[in-house]
Amino acid sequence: MLYEITSRDVTTKDYLIPYAFTGSSMGEETDISEILERLLFALIRQELFRQPFFYRSLLPSFEIDLSSVHPHFEPITGTSLIEEFYEEILPEETLEYDIIVRMPPRKRYTIELEVKNIKKAEPRIVEPEWI
Amino acid sequence: MEKYPWYAIVNGKEPLLQGDFINSCPVVIPPATIESAKVPAEVIEYDVAILSQSCDLEQRKIDLVLVCPVWSLSEFENRSTFFKGKSGKEALRLGNVPGYHLLNKCEINGFERDYLVVDFRSVYSVPFDFILALARKRERGLRLLPPYREHLSQAFARFFMRVGLPVDIPPFR
SS (H, E, C) chain A: CCCCCCHHHCCCCCCCCCCCCCCCCCCCCCCHHHHHHHHHHHHHHHHHHCCCHHHHCCHHHEEEECCCCCCEEEECCCCHHHHHHHHHHHHHHHCCCCCCCCCCCCEEEEEEEECCCCCCCCCCCCCCCCC
ipTM: 0.82
Read off the pLDDT of each residue in B132-156 and give the average, rounded to a whole number: 95
List of E strands, chain B: 7-11, 21-29, 38-50, 64-72, 100-103, 116-119, 124-127, 140-144
CA atoms within 13 A on the CB side of B60: 5
Q: Cα–Cα distance between B153 and B144 in angstroms, integer? A: 11
Confidence of residue A1 (pLDDT cuts 50, 70, 90): very low
**Neighboring chain B residues of A97 at a CB cutoff of 8 Å:** 82, 88, 91, 96-97
Confidence of residue A70 (pLDDT cuts 50, 70, 90): low
- pTM, whole model, 2 decimals? 0.69
- Residues B79, A101: C-beta atoms closer than 8 Å: yes
Give the model's pLDDT for residue B46.
96
pLDDT reading at B145 higher than 50: yes
Read off the pLDDT of each residue in B31-45 and give the average, rounded to a whole number: 92
Is B171 an 8 Å CB contact of chain A?
A: no
Who among B41, B71, B87 is closest to A103 (CB)? Answer: B71
* CA angle (B21 as vertex; B14, B44 as ends), nearest 5: 125
Q: Cα–Cα distance between A91 and A99 in angstroms, integer? A: 18
Write down all domains in chain B, each with its CATH number in brackets: 7-32+40-160 (2.30.30.110)
User: What does the pLDDT look like over B61-78, one tens digit per residue?
Assistant: 999 999 999 999 999 899
- Residues A107, B45: C-beta atoms closer than 8 Å: yes
Read off the pLDDT of each residue in B37-51 and give the average, rounded to a whole number: 95
Give the model's pLDDT for residue A27.
44
pLDDT reading at A77 higher than 90: no
Residues 6+ apart with CB under 8 A from B44: A105, A107, A108, B26, B27, B29
Of A86-90, A93-97, B100-104, the one with minimum mean pLDDT is A86-90
User: What does the pLDDT look like over B87-122, one tens digit per residue?
Assistant: 999 999 999 999 999 999 999 999 999 999 999 999
Read off the pLDDT of each residue in B117-130 and give the average, rounded to a whole number: 96
- Residues B121, A118: C-beta atoms closer than 8 Å: no
Give the model's pLDDT for residue A34.
62
Confidence of residue B152 (pLDDT cuts 50, 70, 90): very high
- Residues B42, A110: C-beta atoms closer than 8 Å: yes
- Chain B: nearest CA to A7, how far in angstroms? 46
Cross-strand bridge partners of residue B50? B67
pLDDT reading at B84 higher than 60: yes
SS3 state at B72: strand
Residue of A83, A87, A103 to mutate when probing chain B, most B C-beta within 10 A? A103
Q: Cα–Cα distance between B142 and B153 in angstroms, integer? A: 17
